[in-house]
Chain A
Amino acid sequence: MIQEKVAQATASGESPMLLSLRNVGKVFSNGVTALSQVDLAIREGDFLSLLGPSGCGKSTALRLIAGLSTPTSGQLDWRGSIDRSNIGFVFQEPTLLPWASVFDNVWLPLRLKGVSRAEAKPAVMEMLSRVHLTGFENAVPRELSGGMKMRVSIARAMVTKPRILLMDEPFAALDEITRFKLNNDLLELWQDERFTVVFVTHSVFESVFLSSRVVVMAARPGRVFGELAVDAPYPRDEVFRTSPDYAALCRQASDVLVNAINSTAGPHHDGH
């Protein structure tokens, strides 16, 4: 029931605005225009994917949202006040502290806020069980598989209960079986907690499977090319993954992406 509500709310756009990017541009000191005139509205509870070829500025957009970088032009408007503790970030690599145990890695964001090990323990253990890593709290990252490391990374991002989770191609380096598993688990987590996700990917299939909205970006300069609402209801599972609906949605998204890529293959392309 909760899931249906989430799906309805996000699909119909009823939920309140969380963040809007207005006319945002980013030019690097080497003259590369990473983003140009990006308008993007992110609503509370959205699972929004940024889909696009490499060089389309999707990672740059994510870093701007995270506050790791500042826009050259335009602005980001947060609804209400948001500080960095409301933002969770999952990098392309697991990015764990190799010398620290799984527990200590997940504890880190809380530790940096002055929460002691004992105080943090319930939250950390709960998060570890949510990502199915109970029993691994004393392992160090090198003892884990790629997928498990990514789970630790997600647990670490979520342990502060952020309002928005930013994910930068988190599963790109994983094998397909592991990726599917993590996709399912991420959706489960999202449906339970109803946080907002911005998910960067260059996989059409992944973006359609996960998202309520897919925003397709084009490169040179990086810009928003088109948007696709994925109306399929949650929970989505393996049945959805093999359904004709899913295939049709992937087809749509793929068409937009192809157009986005072709739109770049003009004179801009030769210029760089």
Chain B
Amino acid sequence: MTAIEDTALKLDPEEARRVRQERLERIGKWVLPLAIMVLAIWLWDRICVWNGIPQYILPRPGVVLQTLHDDAPLLFSSLLVTLRITFLSLLLAVIGGVGLAVLFAQSKWVEMSFFPFAIVLQVTPIVAIFPLINIYINNQTTKLLLCAWIVAFFPILSNTTLGLNSVDRNLRDLFKLNGATRWQQLRYLRLPAAMPYFLGGLKIAGGLSLIGAVVAEFVAGAQGQSSGLASRIIEAGYRLNAPRLFAALILISLTGILIFLVLSLVSHLILRRWHESALKQER
């Protein structure tokens, strides 16, 4: 990069254009989405004003922001409840997903026997399963956790399984030649090789665990049993308190974005030295 900039003066027009293009792209990557976002919020505000839309149908952005500020204690304590379920279920999804994947990797037979169950859990809508969970489990937290876990563990399981099985054949032979035990092969070869796949699954699962937590709260909240953000939304909906509804919604979105960014960063830090996905493009 620096080499290109140092010699920028001596570049021919084509290369100079390329350098300019790159610089523009680097700036545009940040400025463009922000500008569009600002424009969208401004448009939202104008639509409210131009059409005289009442606040209980579509509040102006400023009102939402004000509500976010005024209702902060209520909203943030609810957010904490939701976050707790989200992170606990993500943690359980990692443990369960990786644990099952390692088990599957030990034998093709185990994988063939049990993978269908994982798929069944994945494809059945959680909303449809919840009433059953509600009957069988009394503890509120356990209920929500189980729901969020069912939604979140599958991408980790399926990605990690794929990763554990996509080890270079020659490397496998190399380990065999050196008399590696099953455990050594897992520890030094398969787990590191599966890391990029696992991290990909983790990024998906992070978002899904939040969705799982909110959906579970929704179903539970409809029965007045939850205090998470979802129940704030339901409550606000009943009371036609649209500003709070929007505020809660924004909080959930921001949380989702934050989870994604943090997991992306973790993934980048782990893979940056060796994996193609984390490398800067070189010409």
Contact surface of A with B, Cβ cutoff 8 Å: 66-68, 83-85, 87, 89, 91-93, 95, 97-100, 108-109, 111-113, 140-142, 160
Contact B188 A142 (CB under 8 A): no
Per-residue CB proximity of B108-133 to A under 8 Å, as 1/0? Answer: 00000000000000000000000000
Residues of the A chain whose Cβ atoms lie less than 8 Å from the Cβ of B175: 112
In the complex, what distance in Å separates the CA atom of A67 from the CA atom of B173? 10
- The contact of A112 among B179, B273, B274, B275, by CB within 8 Å, is B179
**Minimum CB–CB distance for B165 against chain A, Å:** 17
A interface majority secondary structure:
loop
B274→A95 contact, CB < 8 A: no
Chain A residues with CB under 8 A of B189: 97
DSSP class of B's interface residues: helix, strand, loop or mixed?
Answer: helix
CA distance A84 to B178 in the complex (A): 6
Q: In the complex, which of the residues A66, A87, A99, A141 has the most CB atoms of chain B within 10 Å of its own CB atom?
A: A99
B49 at the interface (CB under 8 A from A): no
Flag if B177 contacts A89 (CB, 8 Å).
Answer: yes
Contact across chains for A113 and B170 when beta carbons are under 8 A apart: no
A142 contacts B274, C-beta separation under 8 Å: yes
User: Does B188 lie within 8 Å of A112, measured CB to CB?
Assistant: yes
Q: Cα distance A92–B173 when bound, in Å?
A: 13
B120 vs chain A, min Cβ distance (A): 34
Q: Is B171 an interface residue (CB 8 A)?
A: yes
Task: Using known A-B contacts A113-B178, A142-B279, determine if residue A98 contacts B173 with beta carbons closer than 8 Å.
Answer: no
Contact B173 A112 (CB under 8 A): no
Q: B184-209: contact bitstring with A at CB < 8 Å (1 yes, 0 no)?
A: 10001100100100000000000000
**Is B22 an interface residue, CB under 8 A from the partner?**
no
Interface residues of B in 182-236 (CB under 8 A from A): 184, 188-189, 192, 195
> A93-B170, A142-B279 known; A109 and B178 CB under 8 Å?
yes
Contact yes or no, B168 A87, CB < 8 A: no
Q: A89-B173, A97-B171, A97-B189 are in contact. Are A84 and B275 (CB under 8 A)?
A: no
B254 / chain A contacts, CB cutoff of 8 Å? none
Beta-carbon contact of A97 and B178 below 8 Å:
no
Category for how many chain B residues contact A: 20 to 34
A98 and B178 CA atoms in complex are apart in Å by: 18
Q: Does B176 contact A (CB under 8 A)?
A: yes
Interfacial chain A residues near B173, Cβ < 8 Å: 66, 68, 89, 91
A68 touches B176 (CB 8 A): yes
> Are the C-beta atoms of A99 and B177 separated by less than 8 Å?
no
Q: Select A84's contact among B179, B195, B273, beta carbons within 8 Å.
A: B179
* Complex CA–CA separation, A67 to B171 (angstroms): 15
- Distance in angstroms from B283 CB to nearest chain A CB is 16
- CB A184 to nearest CB in B, in angstroms, measures 25
Closest to A100 in B: B192
User: Would you give the shortest CB distance from B259 to chain A, in whole angstroms?
Assistant: 25
Alpha-carbon gap, A93 to B171, bound state (A): 10
Q: Of A68, A93, A98, A140, which is within 8 A of B177 by CB? A: A68
Contact of A112 with B184 in the complex, beta carbons under 8 Å: yes
Q: Are the CB atoms of B170 and A91 closer together than 8 Å? A: yes
CB-CB nearest in chain B for A143: B273
Sampled A-B contacts (15; CB under 8 Å): A68-B173, A68-B177, A84-B179, A89-B174, A93-B170, A95-B170, A99-B192, A99-B195, A99-B275, A108-B178, A109-B178, A111-B188, A112-B188, A140-B274, A141-B274
The reply to whether A99 and B174 form a contact with Cβ atoms under 8 Å apart is no
- Chain B residues with CB under 8 A of A97: 171, 188-189, 192
B279: chain A residues at CB < 8 Å are: 142
Residue B47 CB within 8 A of the other chain? no
